[in-house]
Structure 1
Amino acid sequence: MSQDDSSRVVWIMRKPRSLGNFSIETSYRTMQNAWPENLTRPHMHTASRFTTGILQRVAIWREVRALTFPLIHITGDIHFAAIGLHHASVILTIHDLGMLDEGGRIRRALKRLFWLTLPLRSCDHLIAVSHQTKEDIHRRSGYPLEKITVIPSVISPTFRRRDAQKNQPKPQILHIGLADNKNLTGHAEALSGLDVHLRIIGEPSPDQHSMLRSHGIDYSAASKLSEEEIQDEYAQSELLLFCSTLEGYGMPIIEAQTIGVPVITSNRSPMKETSGPGALLADPEDPESIRKAILEILECETTKATLIEKGFENAAAFSASRSAALHAELYDALRRKVQ
């Protein structure tokens, strides 16, 4: 793609909130900084409203419709912004579709209509962050597989190898996220009776606090952390426990591997593909399977060292420059198609 072609692309970003783990924004800003040197970086347009409520979302939709770029790329979450965009070529990145299964029947139907069915009618191409997400899109919508390109998300350059693990009174196990798919209950059942500290990133609900106490878990929680603070949470941990029941990609796996933290994740797609050989796999619905993996890392220094080294190797394959180049190639292919 020539410089003139790249400059005709705009990335549509949702409006970020003050603090939190905003993986979509981080991924695209990191790719923009790693953009091929011979090409002009895409423009970046951040929505002026938060994605809450009907009126705010309608305002975002109108805002995107008013843009005059020949190629509009919606980078995730605000899928509805693609509806009716026929004046430009449209790309939509889909990170996962698990939210379509949440809520009652009417709520699920509305989300499917405005986050999948209607947006996809206006899209010339889709980007999925994993093969699992690609297959899920096709299964739910029938969208042609040949029009879905898999390009992994990338992590912030803030994440770096830790110098050394800090001494802790007892091994710290890191858990990230508190949605149902993050499997906090399964993790608590697996940890019950072990002399470890569970560090939770997120704000547990009253029911989750009660559940943790019922299992006798020694735990603490932190939320709304900066990237530097999250880096420090990883660096203080013995391992990342990430046996989710559902993910679109599993970015914490790559973050942990980059820092040098052993990973335990699910033996399901896409987690097992994202982690490569740099993780122990466990059945997320079998606490005993998770517990066995935890003990293997805590009790065997050889296993721990091997996972760290293989994790470094695996994380290196998910580079920002590679994902940026794949985006640029896709834009060029779409340009050639419409000529």
Structure 2
Amino acid sequence: HDLSVLHAPQNFRPWFRNYARIVIPRLARRAARVITVSETTRQDVMEHLGLPEERVVAVPNGVDGRYRQATSSRKDLPPRHVLSVGTLEPRKNLVRLFEAVRLLAERPATRDIVLVHAGGYGWLADDIVRAAHSPALRGRVRLLGYVTQEELASLYSQARLLAYPSLFEGFGLPVLEAMASGCPVVTSDRSSLPEVAGDAAVLVDPESVEAIAEGIRRVWEDDALAADLTVRGLARAQLFSWERTARLTADVYESVLQ
């Protein structure tokens, strides 16, 4: 899926760092083919594991059909809010996202902003939870915890935008899910995220709180931009399906067996 453990080992448990350093390269070198979920990860595998390009094949993820047709909605959420999605872990860059929300809440045009986050606990989640409950945020961040796919589809359809400033992703499925749901996207200009988003998202520097805040502000305030991103996102999402993923995966297996 990705080699983020090699790029930011401090974000992973020690046992997995050792596994990635010792076991994964051995398995990859023994494999007839290595399938990755993006061209970005394909290039990463060739560079860091030393595999020839003919043995590494990119097969992109798809998007579940339920994200294209969500109808129900939660009544306990603000009528206008920003959504973020993902496990509570350092790689998701949530502390900077929370700080961006704090900056926006101090400005008159965005003083009513609220961030709703969906996702379970991960590695070092306690630090992120403390940041979310910081007095400086004054309740601007709501942590929903784990949600089902049906609930997540509803959340995408309700949100003003998805903010996904992750530091590193092998694919970034929430970006695709949001686009399929008609939800405008603000995401990182790093790793595979520009590859997945194409021209259908606002891209920001994930290491800059100000850049994240500005990306969110643009979509929050500009109805025309939000509508344009929705149209572009829906069209972009049509390029991805699990049927296509299955077909391309089968093609790789057949090429090995021939």
In structure 1, how many angstroms separate the alpha carbons of the residues matched to 2:73 and 2:136? 27
- Say whether 1:112 aligns with 2:21: yes
Runs of 4+ that moved beyond 3 A: 102-107, 161-170, 203-206
In structure 1, how many angstroms separate the alpha carbons of the residues matched to 2:229 and 2:101? 20
Instruction: Give SS of 2:183's match.
Output: coil
Letter in 2 for 1:314: R
Unpaired runs of 5+ residues, structure 1, are 1-94
Cα 1:148–1:105 change in 2 (3 A) is: same
Cα 1:324–1:231 change in 2 (3 A) is: same
User: Deviation digits for residues 48-86 of structure 1, max 9, x if unmatched?
Assistant: xxxxxxxxxxxxxxxxxxxxxxxxxxxxxxxxxxxxxxx
Q: Normalising by the residue count of structure 2, what TM-score does the alignment of the two structures yield?
A: 0.85
Q: 1:182 touches 1:243 (CA, 8 Å); kept in 2?
A: yes
Tell me the equivalent position of 1:151.
Answer: 59
Cα 1:107–1:220 change in 2 (3 A) is: closer
Q: 2:62 touches 2:244 (CA, 8 Å); kept in 1?
A: no
Tell me the equivalent position of 1:46.
Answer: none
| 153-162 vs 191-200, which moves further | 153-162
Tell me the equivalent position of 2:203.
Answer: 281
Q: How does 1:122-201 map to 2 (within 5 A)?
A: 122-162=30-70, 169=78, 171-177=80-86, 178-192=88-102, 193=105, 194-201=111-118
Q: Normalising by the residue count of structure 1, what TM-score does the alignment of the two structures yield?
A: 0.66
In structure 1, how many angstroms separate the alpha carbons of the residues matched to 2:253 and 2:29? 19
- Say whether 1:98 aligns with 2:4: yes
Unpaired runs of 5+ residues, structure 2, are 106-110
Number of equivalent positions: 241
Higher share in helix: 2
In structure 2, how many angstroms separate the alpha carbons of the residues matched to 1:269 and 1:106? 24
1:157 Cα deviation (Å)? 2.1
- Structure number, greater radius of gyration: 1
Letter in 2 for 1:183: N
Q: 2:119 touches 2:145 (CA, 8 Å); kept in 1?
A: yes
CA RMSD after TM alignment: 2.3
Tell me the equivalent position of 2:108.
Answer: none
Instruction: Give SS of 1:109's match.
Output: helix
In structure 1, how many angstroms separate the alpha carbons of the residues matched to 2:15 and 2:118? 32
**Identity across matched positions, percent:** 30
Instruction: Give SS of 2:84's match.
Output: strand
> Which of 130, 137, 157 is 1:210 aligned to?
130
Tell me the equivalent position of 1:230.
Answer: 152
Letter in 1 for 2:68: R
Q: How does 1:84-95 map to 2 (within 5 A)?
A: 95=1
